[in-house]
Amino acid sequence: MSEGLARRRRVLVADNSADLALVLGEIIGMDPTLEFVGYVLTGAEALEKSRAGATDVLILDLGLGDCHGFEVLDRLRADATQVKVIVHTGHASADLAAHARRKGAAAYVVKDGDPEALLAAIRDS
């Protein structure tokens, strides 16, 4: 498939802040290789939308309203979904990053105000 005809990578954001999720959606939408398909505020919604097959990459906050992000990651891996998960959190912790990788996350990105790190992780996943 030529580069011009390649399908854009579909990205879903799961975060407990709708405002942040919308800002991330705007940033993702500016990249012509990516498609922002929406956001969810809970783990249950993240699982439902990821399992539905309309998502290639899930940007996953660890602090969701109904569960911890690692629970979502565990369930997606148990389901053997092909969704790539990028943990996006305010916790700058090498231990948490290593834990996320062991659980199957494609990347661990700290919320530090630099959107390029997140975009690079999405592109590389």
The identity of residue 47, as a single letter, is: L
CA distance 103 to 78: 10
Least confident of 1-10, 16-25, 76-85: 1-10
Does residue 50 register a pLDDT over 60? yes
The residues spanned by each domain of the chain are 8-124
- Predicted confidence at residue 2, as pLDDT, reads 43
Mean pLDDT of 99-104: 96
> Which residues lie across from 40 on neighbouring strands?
14
- Predicted confidence at residue 7, as pLDDT, reads 82
Q: Domain 8-124: state its class.
A: alpha beta
Assessment of whether the complete model's pTM goes beyond 0.85:
yes
Does residue 9 register a pLDDT over 90? yes
Structure tokens that stand for 15 in this block: 């975060």
DSSP, residue by residue, the chain: --GGGPPPEEEEEE-S-HHHHHHHHHHHHTSTTEEEEEEESSHHHHHHHHHTT--SEEEE-SB-SSSBHHHHHHHHHHTT---EEEEEES---HHHHHHHHHTT-SEEEE-SS-HHHHHHHHHH-
- Predicted confidence at residue 1, as pLDDT, reads 41
